[in-house]
């Protein structure tokens, strides 16, 4: 044990003297702090934009009140007035932005048919989203392995190349002890750095303190240990530093870039999602076809779904709002199966990735982070569901005005339902992911141990 | 002497089984990426073509309708993929595939590939460009890191120099040898890609396509050459192979992993993107100050009304030879489109400013320079996307105005009932997107081009000169 401590102490002297390692560690620290800064400001910005939406809605109501000073026809209000379905970020989202930059976090809604509004996107700079988010999750998933590689690629080979290994071994210490001490020292450095960054991120982002603190830290711990195990496995092969560096970087490249890219291709082929073009074309065709169909036919179809309005006055003349909204809704009904299939296919795609993510630990870990932060695809799909329900409640709110022909007064604006949705963390995925991660670590470590024994 | 050094490097590399194995892996990935790219290109393109044809037919075969009804029925623009985007998907996976074009409203481009994927897509896509931009440089580093250090470690460099060649000459000879090796790895894939492009049906072959493809390849060859020279120079400046390798790998990580993301994020932090909600409200407010196409009550409509009545010398709107509804609608459309376009241009300018951080960073990082040039040639960059959006908006505007014109000339004032015969719609031209030429594409990337050439010049002059300072132990 004393020897172990001496070895650790000398590793510390070595580390302090080695400018390259110091620079590497500092670079990772800065990258981490920038990642935290970027993540929190981005989520802060989204929160502010969401706040502005309330102001915009209030402005819109004011405009409506001016446009229709007295009692208004609810049909006019439904047509000109808009509100927003809102997807609030989880407090953990600042640590892992996930898909929140690609999928819109609000949807502008009017009483018109839902399917023509549900998929509208926000202003997105494609180069920015192509390049991806520089958040803490990126630093942990991509850059920490590089730091570990940088610290460990010559863990044994450098002693050999400098000719110091025989000297060391001539002392009463064994090779496993040397490797163990060196690895322990590096693990302490990396975990210390990771702990500092994660705590800073949690405090800065003011995350909800729950079980996720423990989960997040365990994922970071095991993910770091995974890369240390990989480094150990390569070191156990006892080749020269150049070989180790190339091999480790090759493994990194394989796991963080090539396998994910190939997986992406496989998933796209295995779970094709037609680009939803059918859906968008069909909903227009049905809705606009509504103008050309006999009104009675439309209303009968509508009443079959909503019998409570059957007794309302028969529609006379060229135009009536309740008929207009009836055929808009029938448009949604006509594509309900297509829309359901679209979302279900996206779910299936996500599930396929979850099934296959054991092939790449970084993909698994990124998935865990996004699931914990509620920033992955299923969160967005839940938001779409919630927005759909909101649209239903809007219809529920306006239909009595339309069908009973009650006029819409200024007081009624306040009674209109408002929407707010917050994604919830997906703990099932998190636990499954963590379980897979631990298995990967153990697997690689024991293979490393085996190789080490054999080569020794 | 120089020739024999080059030859020696070439032959000894080919004898190195590890290098050959790596090359084979890279080559296989390159071939896989080509096939994957083609497959994905064809699926997406086919779907979009079918969709475009469907909506065009639907429009032409529409029932008898009031022209303004038709203007709201509108059309779709499905963005066709550029032919050589199969080599570099670029931003295509992150940009919307379809734009719904209707009267009074400019809609967003929806349904991007990225929105239809789990976060897996953010790890990057398997494309030829990815292999060329990231993996080949790594192969080059592996090939060249020992160029000088190995000779130093074995003591052969002093022997070589005693033959009367200078360090620079040795460097050039080695660069020539390595260049040949890299060409041997890359050429088969590039040839195959071209053969697939030209051999298979479905691609329209023209001069523009050739020049785009040629420039695409040329830029990559320059990029590889820069990496070869850079690696040889750094090898000469180091004493030990392992430190040379670590330095080069560090540079690769900085170039290919960290800076692209950092610069793009920095741009987005520095220049705030307005939300679509905010932008729509601003457009709406500014338009409200003008004519509201649906409401002839407001002041400017009144002014137009008086002007028309005076011009034609009649007393009421009913007596006008043209339909006032249509005229008003056209004026409203003109105004709102102008306001929208101003805001859209502002938004584009903000995006450009954000992107310029990455573009100018190309001066420090050849990876960024070649990445932009590559996307530009493949037609999957930012400018091509905006070009498409502008064309869609132009079409939307023209179609709305044409329908307003029909309303103004064929219908009577106040007539909301009359349906024009379905044949009327057959005369309207369907949306057809014509991608801009190679010259246009290149002109959007002049800074990246300068950056790439600057790097080339710099490594060939300053870099080679630096070799003179190399310590020969």
ipTM attached to this prediction: 0.92
Q: What is the pLDDT of residue A130?
A: 95
CA distances from A188 to A221, B161, B256 (A): 11, 48, 29
Residue B41 touches partner A, C-beta closer than 8 Å: no
Average pLDDT, chain B: 89
Residue A238 has pLDDT above 60, yes or no: yes
Q: Give the pLDDT confidence score for residue B291 in this predicted structure.
A: 52
Model pLDDT, residue A202:
96
How many Å apart are CA A59 and CA A136, to the nearest integer? 37
Is the pLDDT at B297 greater than 50, yes or no? Answer: no
Average pLDDT over every residue of A122-130: 94
Please spell the DSSP secondary structure of B36-56, one letter per residue.
Answer: HHHHHHHHHHHHHHHHHHHHH
Q: Strand B98-102's sheet: what is its strand order?
A: B75-78, B98-102, B105-110
**Amino acid B201: pLDDT:** 58
Residue A12 has pLDDT above 80, yes or no: yes
* Average confidence (pLDDT) over A393-414: 93
Q: Residue B97: what are its φ and ψ, rounded to 5°?
A: -95, -25
- Tell me how close the Cα of B245 comes to any Cα of chain A, in angstroms: 7
Contact A196, A25 (CB under 8 A): no
Q: If you write DSSP's letter for every residue of B54-91 in order, what string do you get?
A: HHHHHHHT--SB-HHHHHHH-EEEEPPPPGGGGT--TT
Q: Which residues lie across from B105 on neighbouring strands?
A: B102
The partner residue sitting opposite A277, judged by closest CB among B51, B123, B273, is B51
Count residue pairs from A and B with Cβ separation < 8 A. Answer: 240
Are A126 and B385 inside 8 Å of each other by CB? yes
Judge whether B246 is closer than 8 Å to chain A, CB to CB: yes
Inter-chain residue contact B246 with A245, CB threshold 8 Å? yes
Q: Is pLDDT of B14 > 90? A: no
In sequence order, what are the residues at sequence separation of 6 or more whose Cβ sits closer than 8 angstroms to the Cβ of residue A16? A22
Q: Is the pLDDT of residue B177 over 80?
A: yes
Would the CB atoms of A52 and B355 count as touching at under 8 Å? no
**Interacting residues of B376 by C-beta distance below 8 A, sequence separation 6+:** B383, B384, B441, B442, B444, B445, B448
Residue B295 reports pLDDT greater than 60: no
d(CA B114, CA A132): 11
Quick check: B254 contacting A, CB < 8 Å? Answer: no
Which residues, numbered 265 to 294 in chain B, qualify as contacts with chain A under a Cβ-Cβ cut-off of 8 Å? 265, 267-269, 272-281
Show residues of chain B in contact with A269, CB under 8 Å: 39
Which chain B residue is nearest to residue A368, measuring alpha carbons? B119
> Where do the structural domains in chain B lie, given as residue ranges?
2-467
Rounded-to-integer distance, Cα A221 and Cα A216, Å: 9
From A106, A126, A272, residue closest to B91, measured CB to CB: A126
Kindly report, residue by residue over B317-327, the tens digit of the pLDDT: 888 888 888 88
The Cα A245–Cα A154 span in angstroms is 8
Which DSSP string do the residues of A207-239 spell out, in sequence order? ---SHHHHHHHHHHHHHHHHHHHHHHHHHHT--
Interface probe for A, chosen from B144, B268, B279, B354 (most Cβ of A below 10 Å), is B268
The verdict on B347 touching A (C-beta cutoff 8 Å) is: yes
Inter-residue contact A174 to A257 (CB < 8 Å): no
Report the C-alpha gap between A83 and A424 in whole angstroms.
Answer: 23
In three-state form (DSSP H/G/I as H, E/B as E, the rest C), the secondary structure along A353-412 is HHHHHHHCHHHHHHHHHHHHHCCCHHHHHHHHHHHHHHHHHHHHHHHHHHHCCCCECHHH
Model confidence band, residue A10 (pLDDT cutoffs 50, 70, 90): confident
Q: Nearest residue on chain A to B53, judged by CA atoms?
A: A281
Whether B357 contacts B65, CB under 8 Å: no
Residue B296 pLDDT > 50, yes or no? no
Other C-beta atoms closer than 10 Å to the C-beta of A432 total 17
Query: What CA–CA distance (Å, rounded) separates A178 from A188?
Result: 15
State the smallest CA–CA distance between residue B250 and chain A in angstroms. Answer: 9
In a 10 Å sphere around its CB, with 0-12 CB exposed, 13-18 middle and 19+ buried, how is residue B456 labelled? middle
Q: What is the pLDDT of residue A337?
A: 92
B chain contacts of residue A377, beta-carbon cutoff 8 Å: 117-119
The nearest CA of chain B is from the CA of A202 a distance in Å of 21
What pLDDT sits at residue A383? 97
Report the distance separating Cα B16 and Cα B410, nearest Å.
80
Q: How is A81-115 classified by DSSP, letter by letter? A: --EEEEEEPPGGGGT--TTTTTS-SEEEE-SS-GG
User: Which of A381-390, B21-30, B298-307 bottoms out in mean pLDDT, i.e. has the lowest?
Assistant: B298-307
For residue A131, what is the nearest residue in chain B, using CA coordinates? B261
The mean pLDDT value of chain A amounts to 92
Coil, strand or helix at A352:
helix
Helix axes B207-237, B167-199, angle to 10 degrees: 150
Q: Please, which pLDDT band fits residue A213 given cuts at 50, 70 and 90?
A: very high
CB-facing half-sphere around the CA of B402: CA atoms within 13 A: 16
Model pLDDT, residue A275: 66
Q: Is the pLDDT of residue A168 over 90?
A: no
Pairwise CB contact (< 8 Å): A49 & B272: no
Contact A253 B138 (CB under 8 A): yes
Q: B405 pLDDT band (50/70/90 cuts)? A: very high
Cross-chain Cβ contact A53/B241 below 8 Å = no
């Amino acid at each position: 044990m004393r020897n172990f401590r001496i070895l650790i102490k000398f590793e510390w002297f070595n580390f302090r003297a080695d400018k390259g390692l110091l620079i590497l560690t500092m670079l990772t620290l800065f990258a981490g702090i920038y990642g935290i800064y970027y993540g929190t400001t981005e989520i802060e910005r989204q929160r502010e934009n969401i706040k502005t939406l309330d102001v915009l809605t209030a402005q819109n109501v004011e405009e409506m009140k001016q446009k229709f000073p007295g009692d208004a026809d609810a049909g006019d209000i439904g047509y000109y007035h808009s509100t927003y379905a809102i997807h609030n970020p989880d407090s953990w989202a600042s640590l892992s932005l996930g898909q929140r930059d690609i999928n819109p976090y609000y949807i502008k809604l009017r009483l018109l048919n839902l399917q023509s509004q549900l998929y509208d996107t926000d202003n997105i700079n494609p180069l920015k989203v192509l390049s991806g988010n520089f958040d803490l999750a990126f630093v942990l998933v991509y850059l920490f392995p590089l730091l570990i590689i940088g610290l460990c690629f010559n863990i044994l080979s450098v002693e050999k190349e400098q000719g110091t290994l025989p000297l060391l071994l001539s002392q009463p210490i064994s090779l496993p002890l040397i490797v163990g001490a060196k690895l322990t020292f590096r693990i302490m450095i990396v975990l210390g750095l990771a702990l500092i960054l994660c705590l800073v991120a949690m405090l800065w982002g003011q995350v909800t303190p729950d079980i996720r603190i423990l989960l997040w830290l365990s994922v970071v711990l095991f993910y770091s240990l995974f890369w240390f195990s990989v480094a150990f496995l390569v070191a156990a092969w006892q080749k020269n530093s150049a070989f180790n560096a190339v091999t480790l970087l090759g493994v990194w490249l394989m796991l963080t870039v090539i396998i994910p890219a190939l997986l992406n291709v496989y998933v796209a082929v295995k779970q094709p999602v037609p680009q939803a073009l059918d859906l968008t074309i069909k909903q227009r065709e049905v809705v606009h076809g509504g103008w050309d169909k006999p009104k009675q036919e439309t209303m009968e179809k509508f009443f079959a779904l909503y019998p409570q309005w059957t007794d309302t006055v028969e529609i006379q003349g060229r135009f009536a709002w309740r008929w207009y909204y009836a055929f808009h809704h029938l448009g949604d009904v006509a594509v309900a199966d297509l829309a359901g299939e679209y979302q279900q296919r996206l779910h299936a795609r996500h599930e396929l990735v979850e099934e296959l993510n054991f092939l790449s630990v970084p993909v698994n870990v990124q998935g865990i982070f996004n699931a914990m932060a509620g920033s992955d695809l299923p969160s967005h799909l839940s938001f779409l569901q919630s927005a759909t329900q909101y649209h239903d409640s809007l219809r529920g709110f306006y239909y009595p005005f339309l069908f009973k022909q009650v006029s819409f007064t200024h007081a009624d604006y306040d009674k209109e339902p408002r929407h707010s949705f917050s994604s919830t963390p997906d703990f099932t995925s998190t636990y499954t992911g963590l379980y897979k991660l631990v298995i990967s670590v153990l697997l690689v470590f024991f293979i490393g141990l085996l190789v080490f024994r054999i080569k020794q | 002497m120089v020739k024999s050094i080059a030859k020696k490097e070439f032959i000894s590399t080919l004898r190195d089984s590890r290098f050959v194995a790596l090359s084979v892996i890279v080559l296989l990935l390159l071939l896989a990426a080509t096939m994957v790219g083609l497959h994905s290109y064809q699926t997406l393109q086919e779907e979009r073509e079918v969709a475009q044809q469907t909506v065009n037919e639907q429009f032409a075969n529409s029932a008898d309708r009031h022209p303004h009804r038709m203007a709201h029925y509108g059309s779709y623009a499905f963005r066709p993929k550029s032919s050589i985007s199969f080599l570099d998907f670029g931003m295509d996976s992150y940009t919307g595939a379809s734009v719904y074009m209707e009267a009074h409203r400019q809609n967003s481009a929806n349904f991007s590939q990225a929105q239809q994927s789990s976060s897996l897509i953010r790890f990057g896509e398997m494309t030829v460009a990815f292999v060329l931009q990231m993996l080949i440089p790594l192969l080059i580093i592996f090939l060249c890191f020992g160029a000088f250090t190995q000779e130093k470690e074995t003591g052969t460099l002093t022997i070589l120099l005693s033959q009367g060649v200078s360090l620079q000459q040795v460097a050039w000879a080695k660069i020539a040898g390595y260049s040949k090796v890299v060409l041997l790895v890359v050429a088969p894939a590039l040839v195959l890609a071209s053969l697939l492009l030209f051999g298979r049906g479905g691609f329209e072959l023209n001069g523009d396509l050739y020049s785009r493809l040629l420039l695409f390849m040329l830029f990559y060859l320059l990029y590889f050459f820069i990496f070869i020279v850079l690696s040889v120079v750094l090898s000469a400046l180091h004493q030990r192979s392992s430190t040379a390798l670590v330095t080069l790998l560090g540079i690769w990580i900085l170039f290919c992993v960290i800076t692209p993301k950092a610069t793009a994020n920095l741009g987005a932090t520095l220049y705030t993107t307005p939300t679509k909600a905010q932008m729509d409200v601003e457009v709406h407010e500014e338009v409200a100050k003008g004519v509201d196409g649906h409401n002839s009550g407001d002041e400017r409509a009144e002014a137009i009304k008086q002007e028309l009545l005076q011009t034609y010398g009649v007393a009421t709107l009913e007596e006008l030879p043209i339909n006032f509804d249509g005229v008003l609608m056209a004026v409203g459309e003109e105004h709102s489109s102008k306001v929208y376009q101003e805001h859209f241009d502002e938004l584009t300018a903000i995006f450009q400013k954000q992107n310029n951080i990455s573009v100018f960073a190309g001066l420090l990082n050849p990876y960024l320079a070649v990445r932009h040039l590559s996307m530009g040639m493949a037609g999957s960059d930012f400018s091509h996307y905006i070009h498409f959006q502008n064309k869609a908006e132009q079409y939307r505007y023209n179609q709305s105005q044409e329908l307003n014109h029909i309303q103004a000339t064929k219908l009577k004032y106040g007539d909301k009932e009359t349906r024009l015969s379905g044949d009327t719609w057959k005369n309207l031209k369907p949306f057809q997107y014509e991608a801009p030429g190679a010259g246009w594409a290149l002109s959007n990337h002049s800074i990246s081009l300068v950056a790439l050439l600057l790097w080339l010049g710099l490594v060939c002059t300053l870099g080679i000169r630096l070799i003179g300072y190399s310590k020969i132990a």
